[in-house]
Structure 1
Amino acid sequence: MGIAGDIALIISAALVCALVAQRLGFPLLLGYIFAGLLVGPNTAGPTVSNAHEIELLADIGVALLLFTVGMEFPMEKLRPVRGIALLGAPLQMALVTAYGYGLCKLLGWDTIQAIWFGALISISSTMVVLKVLMSKGLMETLSSRVMVAILVIQDLAVIPLMILLPALENLQEGMGDLFWALLRAGAFLLFMVLFGSRLLPWLVHRAAGWKSRELFIVVVLGVGLGVGYATHLVGLSFAFGAFLAGL
């Protein structure tokens, strides 16, 4: 069918499922997710034939969406709630992980599987939460600022989780990898705070002064996707990097 046919199939399925979700009073995002399940490679019926390419396009789309949200949600709005997020995010993740672990043990799962499940459900989807907040017009509320700050902490917590969870049977080796991963991520985030927060706005404003819409779009896309790729190299998610660039 080719990549063009896959895109046409995805858009058609998304349109139909979104209309059904709207008619039933559900969020449009739920319809989009269901459409993805329908045309995914693991379901019967018409499915995409280039799953890897579609996944790459989806990653870029999510990154651009979060970059746009970050531009509309400056870092100054998160600073007043950083204390709540620094305390609330680890507490929330610990409680949810413990709940998931206990539930899995009751169902007879082994210890490592139970820890995996608990850790997985303790992390929220940044894209889904931000999309829902935007659709409801709640991005400017205090509770939304707290949620966004907690999402940032959760995204940072992915690094130790991705290293420690596979190394549960050999924690000594995992701790060594964790140290270097945290060092790389910490150095990058420190660079972004000290220099990126000044360099990136200057670059965007300079591009705006060129009075060329095409060049401005190229610069903005380069900033968002470039920072996203840089965060991917240090172990953070591509989409989180784009969101960070927007902030």
Structure 2
Amino acid sequence: MESTLAMNTLLFLGVAIIMVPLARKFGLSSVIGYILGGIIIGPYVLKLTGKDVNDIMHASEFGVIMLLFLVGLELEPRKFWEMRKKILGLGMTQMVLTIALLFIIFIAVGWKTDKAFAIAMCFALSSTAIVLQTLQEKNSFKTVAGEASFSTLLFQDIAVIPILAILPLLAHSKVKQNENEVQVLIQKLPDWLQAGTVIMGVVILILLGRYVFVPFLRYVSKAGMTELLTASSLFLVIGVSELMVSIGLSPALGAFLAGVMLANSE
């Protein structure tokens, strides 16, 4: 019998309620509790979610999207602009040094060049959900170390674009696209045009947020239409996330931008 969306949601919340307090009781991070809970109910232990892990992946991705949206709400656009040097400087430095170091190690142990470079790029990325949750638990989000970590994560989300473009070039055989894989609207364009389209898309999104979405939500808020305000905010988050996916960016990055756009609104 296939699990319904409501039952899966109930299962996810139930295991979180049980495992997170247990993890904290033993002095562990709540992230460890979430991970252990997922392992227990997953397809390799109790198999409560069935053999298909797509439902779990969708739920976890939506959780990351909402987490990044809340983070964006706490970050004013002016502060985000002030962090641009950290995003480019620290983020690029981390990616380049990590890829270079791992590439050298993999080559030293006898791996082929293309394999070593591909694995090094993948290992240079971090888990946004785990790092952000850890920063929030330790109340270190607004510290120097917290801002540096967050800046690096943002750059990694952006760096996924060139990485996804490079990986197929390193493959010896043509990769067959999954039927369920999301189609990127700009994937057939030249690389330089893809980069320009992504930058233009983000700029247009920011302008729409400032001159269209924020004034509209301000009007809805002043009119006292609470239900419409909630629906509009969710529409903005999910819509921006899907737009980011369509141009090859991370949906979590889109949710973060949506939060930043609404940071100064009432």
Superposition TM-score, scaled by structure 2 size: 0.81
Paired with 2:13 and 2:110, the residues of 1 have a C-alpha distance of: 41
Tell me by how many angstroms 1:62 deviates.
1.9
Paired with 2:166 and 2:204, the residues of 1 have a C-alpha distance of: 25
Q: Which amino acid in the other structure matches residue 44 of structure 1?
A: V
Is residue 2:135 matched to residue 1:122? no
Is residue 2:222 matched to residue 1:212? no
CA contact (8 A) 1:17 1:34 kept: yes
Paired with 2:130 and 2:45, the residues of 1 have a C-alpha distance of: 26
Which ranges of structure 2 fall in alignment gaps of 5 or more residues? Answer: 173-186, 261-266
CA contact (8 A) 1:164 1:175 kept: no
Fraction of identical pairs, as percent = 28
Q: Which residue, out of 209, 214, 223, partners 1:201? A: 214
Tell me by how many angstroms 1:222 deviates.
0.8
Residue 153 of structure 1: aligned partner: 155
CA contact (8 A) 1:64 1:242 kept: yes
Is residue 2:230 matched to residue 1:229? no
Paired with 2:13 and 2:67, the residues of 1 have a C-alpha distance of: 17
Q: Which amino acid in the other structure matches residue 197 of structure 1?
A: R
Tell me by how many angstroms 1:142 deviates.
3.2
CA contact (8 A) 1:159 1:236 kept: yes
Superposition TM-score, scaled by structure 1 size: 0.87
Cα RMSD of the aligned pairs, angstroms, is 2.4
CA contact (8 A) 2:90 2:151 kept: no
CA contact (8 A) 1:204 1:219 kept: yes
1:208–1:157: structure 2 CA closer, same or farther, 3 Å change rule?
same
Q: Which residue, out of 251, 254, 259, partners 1:238? A: 251
1:195–1:12: structure 2 CA closer, same or farther, 3 Å change rule?
closer
Count of residues in correspondence between the two structures: 243
Residue 46 of structure 1: aligned partner: 47
SS at match of 1:190: helix
Tell me by how many angstroms 1:191 deviates.
1.1
Report which structure shows greater RCO (CA 8 Å, sep ≥6): 2
Is residue 2:63 matched to residue 1:70? no
Q: Which has the higher helix share?
A: 1
Q: Which residue, out of 111, 114, 117, partners 2:113? A: 111
Instruction: Map 1:27-38; keep pairs closer than 5 Å.
Output: 27-38=29-40
Tell me by how many angstroms 1:155 deviates.
1.1
